[in-house]
């Protein structure tokens, strides 16, 4: 999300396609995209990325990116618990190989406001 503060630097976890993706924390699923089948190592493929976006009770969001086609086990509005299997890893979007891209952030807060 534009103008967001990352709580952790985004992390890429190398893993084979179809590996279980577990929820890092409790939360509510607010967006799921899982209809894309394409991936390539070029920025132009970013639009083909599948992901699960989760809202946490402290106001942060977690994003799980490169989920495989139809690889989400959750839907928008689902309540999830830490450790729940929420989907399966893939290689969709801007990706040079199978992995999970994970980040956690506060949306809409400009960095200058925290300095």
Enzyme catalytic residues: 99
What does each C-alpha distance from 3 to 37, 106, 109, 110 come to in angstroms?
Answer: 29, 9, 6, 5
Stated as kind and residue range, the H or E segment containing 31 is strand 27-33
C-alpha 62 chain-centroid distance: 6
DSSP code for 113: H
């Amino acid at each position: 999300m534009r103008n967001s503060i990352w709580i952790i630097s985004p992390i890429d976890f190398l893993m084979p396609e179809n590996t279980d993706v577990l929820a890092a924390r409790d939360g509510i699923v607010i967006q799921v995209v899982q209809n894309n089948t394409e991936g390539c190592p070029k920025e132009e493929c970013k639009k083909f990325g599948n992901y699960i976006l989760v809202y946490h009770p402290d106001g942060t969001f977690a994003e799980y990116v490169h989920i495989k086609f139809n690889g989400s086990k959750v839907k928008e509005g689902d309540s999830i618990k830490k450790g729940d299997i929420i989907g399966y890893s893939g290689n969709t979007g801007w990706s040079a190989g199978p992995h999970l891209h994970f980040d956690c952030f506060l949306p809409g807060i400009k960095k200058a406001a925290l300095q």
